[in-house]
Structure 1
């Protein structure tokens, strides 16, 4: 009887260990930028758990660089906060080996001002704040080029910087600022280009922007993973859970029309 009891206990312990291992395997960590995009991802996480039994642990960040570093070093299984041009720039500059597992939303960037109501009111010498990450800075300058306010040497280059401005007839003063800080410094500049990730939590609506991207924007956000993981079962389950009407409805609620599903 003693041997039987020990055997039963051993089998029970083994079963528990296997169960814990399987539960751990069906668990992924996904990075987001703190704010409404995290709330949107939480809806996807709830769907993934209900539909697939997949636990999606959301890790929040407050900048645009760390989530890719965390993905590269294995601290994350995926992240969902960036568009493809930004990811490509990081891959090229830092040697990351990433792939796209799925698409999320287009979050148009807009130019906001607390001093002026239109681009026509901007004075010569106005101070314009730009996000300092490679692609969001480029998309801001391309918007100004398309409005005829500056001239770029190559407006098809998605990663232009102020160094690529060949004509600045209004003598604008461009300040490169970390994206998360742009809403905070808005009162101190004449105009700031702010990604909707940070504009919406600051109470800035896309309708209030002096200029913004349209639906033709190439900057659709993505779910990024390490190369080779894009077909991993847990990743594809998370993508399927994200690309749902429930997630789109949550984004509509939070972003008030300023988040366009990129998977449709």
Structure 2
């Protein structure tokens, strides 16, 4: 999932659903275990990973795979819920939990089908290492709920701040309990963060936007998220009850194969990392 999206309002969700149903059409094979497996995905990297599987691995595994790309973060879930597609691949668990709660849906992660992480990284034009951050430094953060909490947790994990005990996936700067360096926070739209680097001391930037700005989490970030045990890793998801569809299980196995791991490593220069 491109982790920059807020959950859309009910009105926009309804519009996105209409768009999704139009895009998906009357897919008679959705939910038909003998037909193609239709998967909704955002274009990069999820759609690219699925297309790689379709072109190189699916036939050998006896899987007829169909990929439908969407650029919003509502339609892939509403399409799964309505049975217009069989599965989706674009989101992480905190987003899905929030989506299900707010929309009354019952979409679940497919077991053993967690694929990749788009790691947040802390970047700077003027600072070469974390310890060089000066007191009172300004750090830009993504301003959407999910990614702002991720950014703060990244700073906490690297000793820059401390958050209030028990703060979950909706932490904001108001939840900072300790701040030894007196850091200041500037909240911006995630897409603007790379352009903000000349105006702030450092910025926490999503992996996809880092890639677009030719920044590598592996090479350029002062610190970056680890994929291990990370709740923000993206996975294959289905409507509850469809986890054991044989086609879904085949795709889950392919998504976590050595071939896909190599494709991710060779293609994304650390802006996307395998989580398996």
Identify whether the pair has TM-score above 0.5, normalized to the shorter chain.
Answer: yes
1:56 corresponds to: 66
Shift of 1:251: 0.3
Distance across 1 between alignment mates of 2:256 and 2:265: 14
Per-residue CA deviations over 1:132-166 (Å, capped at 9, x if unaligned) read 44333222111212333222112663432222122
User: Secondary structure of the equivalent of 1:241?
Assistant: helix
Distance across 2 between alignment mates of 1:99 and 1:23: 17
2:216 corresponds to: 205
Of residues 146, 155, 159, the one that matches 1:135 is 146
Tell me: CA distance 1:96–1:185, structure 2 relative to 1, closer, same or farther (3 Å).
farther
Gaps of 5+ in 1: 1-19
Distance across 2 between alignment mates of 1:80 and 1:115: 37
1:15 corresponds to: none
TM-score by length of 2: 0.73
Q: Which moved more, 1:121-130 or 1:21-30?
A: 21-30
Q: Assess if the C-alpha contact under 8 Å between 2:80 and 2:88 holds in 1.
A: yes
Of residues 161, 168, 182, the one that matches 1:157 is 168
Q: Structure 2 matches for 1:1-264, cutoff 5 A?
A: 25=32, 26-46=35-55, 47-61=57-71, 63-101=72-110, 102-154=113-165, 157-169=168-180, 170-177=182-189, 179-206=190-217, 207-219=219-231, 220-257=233-270, 259-263=272-276
Q: Which moved more, 1:222-231 or 1:112-121?
A: 112-121
Shift of 1:260: 4.4
Tell me: CA distance 1:216–1:104, structure 2 relative to 1, closer, same or farther (3 Å).
closer
Q: Assess if the C-alpha contact under 8 Å between 2:148 and 2:172 holds in 1.
A: yes
Q: How much is the aligned-residue C-alpha RMSD, in angstroms?
A: 3.1
User: Secondary structure of the equivalent of 1:100?
Assistant: strand
User: Secondary structure of the equivalent of 1:208?
Assistant: coil
Shift of 1:259: 4.5
Distance across 2 between alignment mates of 1:33 and 1:191: 28
Distance across 2 between alignment mates of 1:126 and 1:29: 48
Gaps of 5+ in 2: 1-26
Per-residue CA deviations over 1:41-65 (Å, capped at 9, x if unaligned) read 211222224432413223142x545
* Greater helix share, structure number: 1
Shift of 1:237: 2.5
Distance across 2 between alignment mates of 1:184 and 1:234: 43
